[in-house]
């Protein structure tokens, strides 16, 4: 199916807020370290979609039905998030490293018989996809990243502006149970505050998606997310530091970010990605931190072209 035909047929999903993961079925897959809740739908080459924090797989609901017209779309909840299991992080928090998340999803794809696949990730999912491309270079054929710079760059180039907007990186990484006690005092307030990005607001989220995010914002998930951030500033940073200047991502990489996001305001994303991704292209989109929910038309256009082997260009 061509891009024009697919966009025309699926336009209602860009506009109708009542649809979540239309046409997808669900499986719960046991990996070597977790149980992963997975939505799968469509037909064609396999495409793995990895969500960010504090979201779940339904953050892809405005583009996944359209992508499923051309690809077999696999959209899991990361370990610790949504309806996936929340294993113990361990003394060094490594059970919530991006390596552990990458391993989970490599095993998920093997479960479905996909030894080679393409992957897109947003926020934490993009960091897991980054690690997956390094750890499984023979399996990841193309990588698209939404609104991040690599972890090594973010944590070695901390500025006042980014630190103020990305306060949760350092707050949630504090020793348990300090952040957990404060965040679980009022979970609805927390999730509303967390998603209400400067200059964007909550209006970009469908009521159904917001209800899912609130359903999944439990004390157990809050603890898992804190373990995720504790891993980031320790084992993840150590891995990336060891790899910096020594390993690169072999496959083509698409880097997209919101011009009105903390990533766009405080970093030069292409410069940050360049040491890691020799075969790279990308641009800013007129969005905040949640492009797939704010401008699904732009994200879909870029993804469809890139994952079909074309060279996408910025649209407005």
Beta strands in 206-307 (DSSP E): 253-258, 280-285
Reduce the DSSP state of residue 180 to 3 states and report it: helix
Q: Is the separation of the CB atoms in 234 and 92 below 8 Å? A: yes
- Decide if 297 is catalytic: no
Longest Cα separation, the chain: 52
The residues, ordered by sequence, that sit 6+ positions from 267 with a Cβ below 8 Å of its Cβ are: 149, 153, 154, 157, 162
96/35 Cα distance (integer angstroms): 13
d(CA 44, CA 58): 21
Number of H helices, E strands in the chain: 16, 8
Cα 64 off chain centre by: 14
DSSP class of residue 276 equals T
Instruction: Identify whether the C-beta of residue 237 lies closer than 8 Å to the C-beta of residue 98.
Output: no
**Candidates 83, 104, 123, 228; catalytic one:** 123
CB 261 within 8 A of CB 288: yes
Q: How many CB atoms lie within 10 A of CB 220?
A: 14
The residue from 51, 61, 289, 301 that is catalytic is 289
Closest alpha carbon to 155 in 173, 142, 138: 173
Is residue 44 classed as helix, strand or coil in its secondary structure?
coil
| 123 catalytically annotated | yes
Catalytic amino acids? 123, 289
């Amino acid at each position: 199916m061509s891009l024009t035909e697919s966009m025309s047929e699926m336009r209602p999903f860009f506009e109708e807020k009542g649809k979540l993961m239309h046409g997808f079925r669900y499986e719960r897959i046991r990996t070597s370290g977790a149980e992963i809740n997975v939505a799968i739908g469509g037909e064609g080459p396999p495409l793995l979609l990895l969500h960010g924090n504090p979201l779940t797989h339904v953050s892809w609901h405005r583009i996944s039905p359209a992508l499923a017209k051309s690809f077999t779309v696999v959209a899991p909840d990361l370990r610790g998030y949504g309806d996936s299991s929340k294993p113990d992080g361990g003394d060094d928090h490594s059970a919530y490293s991006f390596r552990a998340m990458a391993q989970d999803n490599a095993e998920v794809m093997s479960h479905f018989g996909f030894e080679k696949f393409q992957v897109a990730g947003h926020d934490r999912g993009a960091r897991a996809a980054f690690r997956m491309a390094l750890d499984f270079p023979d399996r990841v054929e193309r990588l698209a990243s939404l609104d991040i710079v690599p972890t090594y760059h973010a944590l070695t180039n901390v500025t006042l502006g980014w630190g103020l907007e990305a306060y949760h990186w350092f707050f949630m990484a504090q020793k348990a149970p300090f952040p957990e006690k404060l965040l679980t005092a009022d979970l609805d307030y927390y999730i509303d505050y967390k998603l209400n990005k400067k200059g964007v607001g909550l209006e970009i989220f469908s009521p159904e998606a917001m209800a899912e995010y609130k359903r999944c914002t439990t004390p157990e998930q809050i603890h898992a997310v804190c373990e995720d951030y504790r891993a980031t500033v320790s084992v993840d940073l150590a891995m990336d530091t060891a790899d910096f200047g020594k390993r690169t991502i072999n496959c083509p990489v698409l880097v997209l970010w919101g011009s009105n996001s903390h990533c766009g305001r405080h970093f030069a994303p292409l410069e940050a990605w360049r040491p890691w991704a020799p075969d790279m292209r990308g641009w800013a989109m007129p969005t905040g931190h949640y492009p797939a929910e704010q401008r699904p038309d732009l994200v879909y256009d870029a993804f469809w072209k890139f994952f079909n082997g074309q060279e996408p260009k910025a649209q407005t």
